Structure 1
Amino acid sequence: MTDAAQIILVHQLLFQGMFVAKNALLRRKLGQPIRGANPEARAAIAFFAGFIALSLWLAISGQPWGYLPVTSDGAAMWLSLPLLALNLWVGLASLRDLGDSWRVGVLEQQQTALVHKGIYRYSRNPYFLSYLLMFAGYTVLLQNALLLALSLPAFVLIHRMIRREERHLLGLHGEDFRRYCQRTPRYLLR
């Protein structure tokens, strides 16, 4: 197995492990669903799974589809590792700091607290930001134009999910959410 495939596998075990553990523990604690059935979330989850599967397949198979070497494979690996480490850190901080307000997609019937502390002081959507870091990390690791091209629709899907969540949170928290939006960027920079 290639180094790139091993990196992706270990990374996914950690990243998806955090996600699954948070979802299972919170669902058990709250005794109610924490995953919405909205089409944006379903489409994004399917797309993200496809992106990850394609990345893993490219790494395992050694297929040259989309391979666009900009540097040596070793240098690409070392450039990707900080992106993937940052992805894990941002993902973990997001899951931790959102606490019981964590949801996958929008659940219209549920009331959640507005979280603006911890990592949510710097970004209103750090977990989505962690996905963008993962896409960048895999694209750099594999030096792949196909993954780079797929990053654009991934960003569009993320943005659509965020816009839906923002409408929901504005309806739920009103002026408090509006003030939060004024002082905290949607992604990272204004």
Structure 2
Amino acid sequence: MTTSDDIGPDPSLLLVDDDQAFVTRLAKAMEKRGFAPVTAESVAEGSRIARETPPAYAVVDLRLEDGNGLDVVEILREARADARIVVLTGYGAIATAVAAVKLGATDYLSKPADANTIAAALLAQGDAMPPPPENPMSADRVRWEHIQRVYEMCDRNVSETARRLNMHRRTLQRILAKRSPK
């Protein structure tokens, strides 16, 4: 568990996520770990906070209702070069991870990520590799999440999703009808 000694003299933390329940829980958890969190639920609000009072740490969701979280990362990096920024997303892809790091993100984590993992990423020093996750997603869960993401990108059109995933439409319908694997 992190302590305030690990955090340093400035514990300011900006949390930007449009999932109000998640950002509230994360703020409470990070406060218990010694951070001083401020939350925002949009690119506009996160950008305003980043300009006015740039925090030492930030956790930014990639996809927000009013735009891309990378815009907040870019503004924060310009406002405070030493900020440690972690980008969170439920839609992990190599291209977005590369873009996040190029814009100045310190790390890139896939959701669901717990407070311990996020704190470890924020406080990681140098090029130290983070430890592997204690409870990684199963291969079935990763596959299911990918199918769900493509399904949403296709506006929940089963035929178009099946075409893009190169699978039979009925097979896709059976997968979509089941609960998500653990």
Higher relative contact order (CA 8 A, sep 6+): 1
Higher helix residue share: 1
TM > 0.5: no
What is the TM-score of this pair, normalised by structure 1? 0.28
What is the TM-score of this pair, normalised by structure 2? 0.29
